[in-house]
Chains A and B, each alone.
Chain A
Amino acid sequence: MIEEKKTPNPSSHKLQRLFIPCFKMVFSTWTYIIFAVATTVTFWIVSSIFDQLLFFYPIVIFYLPDDALVGFILVNITAIILGIVVSMNIYVFRHTKTKINIASFFSGSSLSVISSTCASCSSLGFFLISTLGAAGVTASSFVSNYQTPLRLLSIALLIWAYYSISSKITKSCIMNSSNSSK
């Protein structure tokens, strides 16, 4: 019998080569695990407060009504990816000489945080209404009506931010290894 050799899909192989070593490299150090966990937990708490799932007054209580289930799952995904991305950004900032592209950092991590957090922040809605009047009402209702798409957008942006920071780390590794081989 002739055994068929399984050839990996080149594009998925490329992605594996890009994502997994970077992930292992960054999170082999406790500091970056702590950064990731701290960011995830902070974002999770802030989002849960804005989503009105977590209350500190009059008693500390977390509750998850049926209508909030989808949003809660998306927030959890966002929080985990955000923790990883922020930690990797800090890694790049501290360990490589390549300059961080501030624009991409803001458009990736920050925009995803804003879109996810503001998807449900009713306080911001009231702020918009009181400061911008009719335009604020429109903005507030847009943010309220499109919570789920905004959250999905934020996850997509974070995945893109993860891809971009991973390739940055890989490039710097290649540059470093090629410099050292000379």
Chain B
Amino acid sequence: MLIRLWYRKELSTLFIISIAFLTLTSVVNSRYYFNTTSAQKSDEQIKNLSLQNLIKNGSPFLGNTSAPITIIDFSDFQCYLCNRYVKNTEPIINQTYVQTGKVALVFKHLPNRGFDSMGAALAAQCMNDQEKFWQFHKLLYANQKPIDSGWVSKENLKKFALQIPGLDIKQFDSCFDSEKYKNFVQKDIDLGLSFGFKETPSFIIENSDGSNPEFLAGALPFPSFKAVIEKKMSGS
């Protein structure tokens, strides 16, 4: 009887500790697995991700075309974590690496946080035709509201467009209404999914010829980006 009771007590202790340990390790490992193995699996696809290729295909970019390192950002305009990255991390990356010609930033659409996300992506891509993408990008994130609350409905996107100085609104409306970039955005989504990106924002940091890619997931702070960029710049 005593042995049974002892066994029951010890078993319950062991059970609780095991559950806690398993939860913790599985959460940590799932992230680490994503960050390391995807890079090995997707080596072939990465060759198409050289900076020149991305620019040629029409992806919005920021920085010097001869920058040695490229950061490809997969984001959704409705995602609040993307907004956290845009507000807290991107300005420091821009100031430290993009303005100094060391890094080029490329934007890829991964609009699946809500029903209105696709519309926002299409409008933003239309802005790129008139080289207004980054102004629109900044405007949308600055005015972000809860997902699918109507803040990026078709009507509101057109209202946002009116706030962009120097925009040919007729050209924009024609591009947006005809969903000119639907296939383009869909290709971005397929690309993101092919890398196993499960969340936005997700990033690829690579040499600008597309080699040596590193995958990052989440709204990471600047020191995390710095660690990867510095490692790449030192050639290791």
Contacts and interface: CB of A to CB of B under 8 A. Distances in A.
Q: Do A and B come from one complex?
A: yes
Q: DSSP majority for the B interface?
A: helix
B12 A141 contact: no
Interface stretch (A22-30, A50-58, A159-167): A50-58
A16 interface: no
**Prevailing SS type, chain A contact patch:** helix
Contacts of A52: 81, 84, 218-220
B24 A42 contact: yes
Interface in A1-59: 31, 35, 38-39, 42, 45-46, 49-50, 52, 55-59
A76 interface: no
A39 B20 contact: yes
A145 B221 contact: no
B216 A35 contact: no
A144 B216 contact: no
Contacts of A67: 80, 83-84, 87
A142 to B, nearest CB: 9
A143 B26 CA distance: 22
B198 A141 contact: no
Contact of A129 (B23, B84, B112, B216): B112
Nearest to B199: A122
A49 B200 contact: no
B219 A58 contact: no
A38 B16 CA distance: 10
Interface stretch (B95-103, B167-175, B223-231): B223-231
Contacts of B223: 59, 61
Nearest to B5: A94
Given A67-B80, A68-B84, A86-B16, A61 B221 contact: yes
Contacts of A127: 198
Nearest to B228: A58
B17 interface: yes
B175 to A, nearest CB: 25
Contact of B114 (A55, A56, A65, A137): A137
Interface residues of A, number: 36
Nearest to A127: B198
A10 to B, nearest CB: 37
A140 interface: yes
Contacts of A122: 79, 81, 199-200
B206 interface: no
A106 interface: no
Given A55-B220, A58-B214, A90 B23 contact: no
B231 to A, nearest CB: 8
Nearest to A51: B81
Given A46-B27, A144-B80, A57 B198 contact: no
Given A57-B32, A63-B221, A90 B16 contact: yes
Interface of B: 8-9, 12-13, 16-17, 20, 23-24, 27-28, 30-32, 35, 79-81, 83-84, 87-88, 112-115, 146-149, 198-200, 214, 216, 218-221, 223-224, 227-228, 231
27 contacts: A35-B13, A38-B16, A42-B23, A49-B31, A52-B81, A55-B218, A55-B221, A56-B28, A57-B32, A58-B35, A58-B231, A61-B224, A67-B80, A67-B87, A86-B16, A90-B12, A94-B9, A125-B113, A125-B199, A126-B112, A127-B198, A141-B113, A141-B146, A141-B147, A144-B113, A145-B146, A145-B147
Question: Considering the complex of A and B, which 5 residue pairs feature the smallest CB-CB distances, nearest first?
Answer: A141-B147, A145-B146, A63-B221, A42-B20, A122-B199
